[in-house]
Amino acid sequence: MRLKDRVALVTGGGRGIGKAIALALAKEGADIVACDINLENLKEVAAEVEKMGRKILILKADVSKVSEVEEMVKKALDKFTKIDILVNNAGITRDNLIVRMSEEEWDQVLDINLKGAFNCLKAVARPMMKQRSGRIINIASVVGMMGNPGQANYAASKAGIIGLTKSAAKELASRGINVNAIAPGFIKTAMTEALDDEIKERLTSQIPLKRLGEVKDVANLVVFLASNDASYITGEVIKVDGGMLM
Ligand code: NAP
């Protein structure tokens, strides 16, 4: 087990990539704190983690709200006394062309995807600095590196995550905290299920490995970045995209 007795906080852990990450970290021996805006989904995750013999704390928290994030980190520390790993995974899309994009669509995506990641990173930074160790893994997207029509808000939020990752990596390195980002391509989840079949076929044809990614493809990299094997890696953005963006 590569993460025995570490404590990992995963945001948006109720389904999709976040759920896969929480389960993969637990399988490697970590205890889990999982937050989501939907507590029902988290109950299923909790049952699976407990079956593996690990502890889990599930919390309803909206990452875009500073007070809810602070409360979440306080509860996590009360239960586990430390947080070794933060995975900033919670994210949404509100797609529209720029000329049609409402202020609300812009704000919602930036608030959850970018400010949410900042809120969580800030809240765990102090306890991690005191411990003189920590791993922060931010889920960005290849869209933040290459842009995408109809996703100006999402692409901006994910490009912002990359800037946040590199700045935090430089600020926190001297305290033993590594900060990295993962940029998935198209992964099979509810987020991509919403795309119509023609778009999915077109996208797949542009991927050298000729398939959409699986949630475990992202979760496996999170486990590696959280493990001792990745101790000399910080400030990186690693793509998991079947070769789509080279
Ligand atoms: P998903 O299936 O929609 O899951 C996102 C999770 O985040 C859901 O459980 C959602 O809760 C939760 N969430 C939404 N807003 C939240 C908030 N304000 N506070 C806390 N939790 C919140 O999406 P996914 O495909 O697994 O995506 C996970 C991450 O990977 C996102 O950051 C996404 O941008 C990124 N990503 C995904 C892909 C892809 O192809 N799927 C590609 C690149 C990057 P509800 O269940 O209540 O909605």
- Candidates 71, 75, 16; CA nearest to 42 is 16
By annotation, the residues acting in catalysis are 154
Whose C-alpha lies nearest to ligand 1, atom 34?
Answer: 91
CATH fold, domain 7-240, is: Rossmann fold (3.40.50)
Q: Give the nearest ligand 1 atom to 158 CA.
A: 34
Nearest to 73 by CA among 24, 138, 169, 8: 8
Identify the helix (H) or strand (E) that includes residue 180. Answer: strand 177-184
Q: What angle do CA 25, 57, 108 make, to 5 degrees?
A: 85
Read off the pLDDT of each residue in 156-171 and give the average, rounded to a whole number: 99
Q: Which atom of ligand 1 is nearest to the CA of 111?
A: 18
Angstrom distances, CA of residue 37 to CA of 61, 68, 134, 194: 6, 11, 25, 20
206 C-beta neighbours (distance < 10 Å), count:
13
Q: How does pLDDT run across 120-130, given as a tens digit for each residue?
A: 999 999 999 99
Q: pLDDT category, 190, cuts 50, 70, 90? A: confident
Band (pLDDT 50/70/90 cuts) for residue 43 is very high
Q: pLDDT tier at 205 (50, 70, 90 boundaries)?
A: very high
* Per-residue pLDDT, 199: 84
Which range has the worst mean pLDDT, 167-181, 188-202, 222-236?
188-202
184 touches ligand 1 (CB under 6 Å): yes
* C-beta of 41 in contact with ligand 1 (< 6 A): yes
Is there an atom of ligand 1 within 6 Å of 239 CB?
Answer: no
Q: What is the chain's mean pLDDT, rounded? A: 97
3-state secondary structure of 93: coil
Amino acid occupying residue 232: Y
Q: Does the C-beta of 213 come closer than 6 Å to ligand 1?
A: no
Q: Please state the domain extents for the chain.
A: 7-240
> What global pTM score does this model have?
0.98
| Nearest-CA residue for atom 8 of ligand 1 | 12
Q: Does the C-beta of 90 come closer than 6 Å to ligand 1?
A: yes
Give the residue, by CA position, lying nearest to ligand 1 atom 4: 16
Atom of ligand 1 nearest to the CA of 17: 26
Two structure tokens written together for 43:
């109950």
Question: Tokens 């994009």, residue?
Answer: 101
